[in-house]
Structure 1
Amino acid sequence: MYYLKNDRLKVEIQEPGTFYKGSRFDWTGFISQITLDGNIEYCVPERLEEGEGTGGLGFCNEFGIDSPIGYDAIEVGELFPKVGVGLLKKDEDAAYDFFRTYEVSPIEVKINKEANSITFETTNASPKGYGYHLIKEVAIVDNRLIIDYRLTNVGKYPIHTNEYSHNFIGINNEFIGEHYQLKMPRMKNIEVEVGSISSSHDQLTWPSTPDGDFYAHIDWEVKNGTYNWDVFHDKIGAGVREISEFEPSKIALWGRNHVVCPEVFIDIKLKPNEVKSWKRVYEFYQDKEV
């Protein structure tokens, strides 16, 4: 376990391959708890029921949820790279399924811890010639959490994948309901595919606690708004907003009775030796007037 701490934030980061050993989420920079001002906690598990879900917790990211590197180019029994996880074995002649548990040959990770940041570095390549080098830095500055990514294609072939952070948010473990508000100033339209979500202009709410999953696709206006999304609990008087500046390729929203997860995706296309860098920035806050 690693900790980053300043006067405002305390961030708990799991050591790769210890707490989480699954085949879905990036093992590096797996953030299991964030505490603001010593009294507001933000991170909850994907599922409360033991044995359910895919092991997500807190602010954890995933590469290639629907575009895994090299998967379609290999045969059953061969290996493909999952960024931040390792080499996964293709176990059937079927489309990749992020819900499925694949056999993992784990990556090796170099870790450099400093006072207000921690850096994870890893290189991985499959026998078929697909490879990457990832450097991820997790840092805190005042009440902001900043995650820097630098991904290099070190393989023989172009790679096309994507990345997002799942953001399993439940403020002080309060269930989703009338006191939660999710503001999305760049939202043009929302298409709710599962469950029920109330929307008015750029604000989403839940009149009552959901009795199952909710999921939605969101149409996005890139140039409007100073933040991407803002989750606020009006009874606790605390929230978190994402202020990342890259152009999203897709926006989704998932949740259950105990958790709300705004998901901002970035598209990644790299020829051999090409590099892509991007940054995710989160701002945690309390409203002193509540």
Structure 2
Amino acid sequence: MIKTYLKSIVIAVILLNGFVSKAVQLTEHPKAEISNGIVKAQILLPDLEHGYYKATRFDWSGVISNLDYKGHSYFGTWFDKDNHPAHATIMGPVEAYSPLNYKDVEVGDAFVKIGIGALLKSSNESHSDFIPYKIVDPGIWELKMTTNSVEFIHKLSNGGYAYEYIKTIELVENQPKMIISHRLKNTGLKTISTVGFNHNFLVLDNQPIGKGVELSFPVAVSGSGRGEDDMFAIQGKKLVFLRLLDNEESFACKYLEGLNSVEDFDIRLENHNSRAGVRITGDYKLPRLRLWGNAKTVCPETYINLKVEAGEDYNWSYDYEFYETAE
């Protein structure tokens, strides 16, 4: 059965078929554990008052603090807990979306970010992911849970925009696999147009990034960025790390080019020192792939362009397959 770890009182509304629609924990961060008997994951649940993540950069749903397969771990803390900004103290394959109407509203009015809510525009400066905007309308969050899945439903109507954003994290039965599926329903009158990305904060076995850690693709890729030929090198279909990174270093590629079809959305990260591997695939052609990381995490950032007309909806998904590399 699903485990919900709550240190004090939990308020829950139980629906038919064993689903949980809402869960609020009063003194500590609400979280749930799901398992398919092969993979186990701990998921931090959104809550305006008690939730772990309350900043305004990333979508509040789908924060995975830990995922285990065959004794290997795949997500976790990659940042300095004592010296890190609130917007980046997050874990797992978290996603973010550009604001729908920041440029269209006046200072003092609200703009919308999917998976967060309506935020106060505090100045005429350009929007920044790193500014902690005030949340003036958090929308409504609903949760549905089974033993091996959590479905997040975020509903918002503000400033002429209205949507229902549904994200489901499912551990596939009898497989070492996780699927993150999405459905964005435009329930308002205005077109929803945004750019999203999945940061994929992968932390394999909590080991430092260095030799033996590599990314691989189905085709040759190219790109350049901070740390090239020092921390990492691109070698045809692979990106390999050349040395052990220290705690103050980070690397980045603004664009990794060469992935030109849906079939090319096929990314593997392997740590040959611990034998942990993960394969990430998607069901659309990547418009952009960016790479960022530091001494603890490698983040292949997969982008998506979304345009959903009034009354329409759009679906997309990511598959994560966990495995052990060869000896």
Task: Give 1:172-183 correspondences, 5 Å limit.
Answer: 172-183=205-216
Aligned with residue 242 of structure 2, among 207, 229, 234:
207
> Which string of whole-angstrom CA distances, capped at 9 and with x for unpartnered residues, describes residues 55-96 of structure 1?
2212211122xxx11111101111111111111111110111
The aligned residue for residue 74 of structure 1 is: 105
Task: Give 1:102-251 correspondences, 5 Å limit.
Answer: 102-105=133-136, 106-126=138-158, 128-141=159-172, 142-192=175-225, 194-196=226-228, 197-211=232-246, 212-216=249-253, 217-223=255-261, 228-251=266-289
1:63 aligns with 2:100: no
Contact 2:186 2:310 in 1 (8 A): yes
The aligned residue for residue 40 of structure 1 is: 72
Read off the aligned partner of 2:84 and give its amino acid letter. E
Read off the aligned partner of 1:169 and give its amino acid letter. L
Query: Which sections of structure 2, spanning at least 5 residues, go unmatched?
Result: 1-30
TM-score (normalizing by structure 2): 0.82
Read off the aligned partner of 1:100 and give its amino acid letter. I
Greater RCO, CA 8 A, separation 6+: 1
Contact 1:227 1:241 in 2 (8 A): no
Question: Aligned partners of 1:268 and 1:227: how far apart in 2?
Answer: 17
1:274 aligns with 2:312: yes
Contact 2:32 2:45 in 1 (8 A): yes
Read off the aligned partner of 1:255 and give its amino acid letter. G
The aligned residue for residue 10 of structure 1 is: 40
Question: Aligned partners of 2:83 and 2:313: how far apart in 1?
Answer: 38
| RMSD, aligned CA | 1.7
How many residues align? The count is: 283
Question: Aligned partners of 1:100 and 1:93: how far apart in 2?
Answer: 13
Read off the aligned partner of 1:87 and give its amino acid letter. A
How far residue 188 of structure 1 moved from its aligned partner, in angstroms, is: 3.3
Query: Which sections of structure 1, spanning at least 5 residues, go unmatched?
Result: none
Question: Aligned partners of 1:63 and 1:251: how far apart in 2?
Answer: 15
Question: Aligned partners of 1:170 and 1:240: how far apart in 2?
Answer: 11
Distance 1:25 1:224, change over 3 A: closer
Larger Rg: 1 or 2? 2
Contact 2:36 2:147 in 1 (8 A): no
> Which string of whole-angstrom CA distances, capped at 9 and with x for unpartnered residues, describes residues 9-42 of structure 1?
00111110211111111111221211112x1011
Distance 1:114 1:224, change over 3 A: closer
TM-score (normalizing by structure 1): 0.92
The aligned residue for residue 264 of structure 1 is: 302
Deviates more, 1:202-211 or 1:269-278: 202-211
